[in-house]
Structure 1
Amino acid sequence: MKYFIDAQLPYLLAEILRNKGFDIIHTDDLPEKDETSDTVIRQLAALENRIVITKDSDFQDSYLLFKQPPKLLLVTTGNIKNRPLLDLFRRAIPAIDELFGRYSFIELNNEEVIVHE
């Protein structure tokens, strides 16, 4: 699977997922970096068939209303330090990646992976 990581998530997450063999773009990889607009992120995700990983609930709204981005991983951990967040992803990403084979909207919180379909 191919993922697009939004600005509120650490760049180290992109490195960890790349090391696991995933095709990753982080907003910091783009010319506008963390100033990249949500519209550009949605367009790139649709164009390159990428799953957006974000904490931004605006993406949830655009997904529910317009199915944009086409696939979404909403991170709802609240304020969490990077180490526990990265550990959470290390544990959950195999299941998340498998679920995206069948579903389009998944949520990751501190306790579980939730499918919204």
Structure 2
Amino acid sequence: MNFLIDAQLPPALARAIASEGHDASHVCDLDMTSAPDLEVWNEALRRGAAIVTKDEDFILLGRASSGTEVPAVVWIRIGNCARKALLAAVMPILPTIVEMLDGGETVIEIR
């Protein structure tokens, strides 16, 4: 599975996902830390990656893109927390996230 981690999330999340055998890049790895959402969206499409984000704008972009190709979005709706707490919330459910993405889900909310 291929993931593109958005700027509001730490690069450590990309590293942790990659350590589980997935392709995961953080936008900072691609010199896209300040890139507009549409640019990140298009990069995810180019890479065939699911966007991992805290940003609702990607959900809205998906709704506005009816009839066109859209990247999957893993929408992390956990409030502000330390990196350790974020990783503790996401990494145990990563296999389920991958399974859902493989099954064709286009939006996965993590609360």
Task: Tell whether 2:22 aligns with 1:22.
Answer: yes
- TM-score, normalising length from structure 1? 0.86
- Distance in 1 (alpha carbons) for counterparts of 2:70 and 2:22: 19
Higher relative contact order (CA 8 A, sep 6+): 2
- Structure 1 segments of 4+ aligned residues over 6 angstroms from their partners: none
Number of aligned residues: 108
**Equivalent in the alignment of 2:84:** 83
- Distance in 2 (alpha carbons) for counterparts of 1:24 and 1:5: 7
Deviation at 1:7, TM superposition (A): 0.4
Q: Identify if the C-alpha distance between structure 1 residues 49 and 6 changes in structure 2 by more than 3 Å, giving closer, same or farther.
A: same
- TM-score, normalising length from structure 2? 0.90
- Distance in 2 (alpha carbons) for counterparts of 1:23 and 1:14: 8
- Distance in 1 (alpha carbons) for counterparts of 2:10 and 2:70: 20
AA aligned to 1:99 is: M
- Sequence identity percentage: 29
Superposed CA RMSD in Å reads 1.3
Deviation at 1:31, TM superposition (A): 2.2
Name structure 2 gaps, 5 residues minimum: none
**Equivalent in the alignment of 1:108:** 110
String of CA shifts for 1:16-45, please: whole Å, max 9, x gaps: 11111110111110124x212211111111
